Structure 1
């Protein structure tokens, strides 16, 4: 089945907030999702516009996205001026739907405000005027110097309450095609207004890839050195033993008793060396048995997973389980949520800024 090129996400599937200041996209996502108190924020996508120093932000759950591109309904009305369907740069949209109503404002062709409206009960037309007063719609029209009010799905012709204050048009008479047809000109919208972000070719992925490669290379180098260490130690011990034996033989003619004492001392040294070597061999074998090829692959995935999600750790300890330590509290919270649903690791427990993970194939 061919995937739809672009779709409109209606307001019953949207969450709106705004922030003032300067943010990169990652921090904007974190701050806005905190404002909205979104559960499982990482399962949501963000679209936004920036007007001066104010960010207008919409979220939707990823399950609502079916097309290659997806835009919040309030953002697409910018196309009305881009396509020369209206001349006014200061305008507002009054939209009515079964489960929600809203009004949004454009000033100098820029999105400037979004406000949901209370629902009318039993199509009470007379009650609409008081709803408008409570929502301060007339004050907002004056504040944003709106020259045109465009209504959408206004079956009860409620926009007539404003006809003495402002020019009124119905979107259905202005644009007779289905609203989705507007998205054929979605290239006129910015990439930030799209919930689905295209992968940009920049240096960051290559830098991440380089760090991932170096990390995996160092890990495998460490394993190689550990596996080669017993042979190296055995060689050094043999060399030491041969040297001791040669010294002992040279002194044999001088004093038999001295040779006997020296031989006894040499045997004790060899036993101590063998004991230490056996102990180190046991530790290495335990480490090798713990880090099987499968777990080495999962450990590599852990490093990649942390990098892809921008999670910085302060320490990584490997024993029977994996312990991750964080300096940053936000990174700790984000990691806690991500590892609860991770396919390769299970979250065993957590303490302050520390996560304890197990392998899911155990």
Structure 2
């Protein structure tokens, strides 16, 4: 795979080569609550032309969605290793979403001097409707992804990092790898942090590579809780309800599989009417319950879309957190105490949570 034109020029020109192998044309944007999920799998309408990656490499198998884009900084000494951020996009885990949604974040992080591995993966065909007969046999997820294929893809993309380092023209520091994702990508980010404690034989168990830290934003951490709050995308991902697929819900929920040794910062908006703030609070409480440590930051001025606005204060905070972990200077939070201790540090929005639903 040929090395692309210099990223500095690509950012300056704002050029984008396309969605990637097999991604196909973007589907019409969904309406209503579903639009909030889909936002993180699509390039923002005002993003202009997106930068071209330095390398596009397959990380597993032969499916056209099993690839990643590597964005590289321009260090003075290419032999001096740079930290790596793995980005995982959201969009309800659906096939219509692509890594274009996190390309602006990748470009912004690269300007700060880190490499970014922006990961594509197989998604589901659609959000699943309520089953006509809840007692009937569950349907398998539509589309090429869904459990366990979506999860196996992101696990393979992380395990590919040592080989990626061998292909990169800039030296990568694999001791300073941070995984970050938003919305459905936040779920997958936290699930990757759970891999060391997954039972033997479970999808993703026995990781071949362990990142140093994890930063999920607006993530879904307890999938049964999300299903109970009418998240149809969860049913599409897991192929049924918690009653029909209890083992899938258990294995896919980061809050049910907590590695107490992980380094993690959880970012959530109190005004998020797509993913309830309770997801982050429950996750933090369960981390604390097993003796782990979590830096939980709930911002009163953030909604679900806030993290994707690369010129906004919420992304500025996320960027600071990600870079802090990548540079080995995170501010580790205490084990989660009583709910409500952590608050946003940028003030409260006028609209309360749930306004405009």
How does the TM-score come out when normalised to structure 2? 0.22
> Comparing both structures, which one devotes a greater share of its residues to strand?
1
- The structure having more radius of gyration, on CA atoms, is 1
Question: Which structure would you say has the larger RCO, counting Cα contacts within 8 Å and 6 or more residues apart?
Answer: 2
> Comparing both structures, which one devotes a greater share of its residues to helix?
1
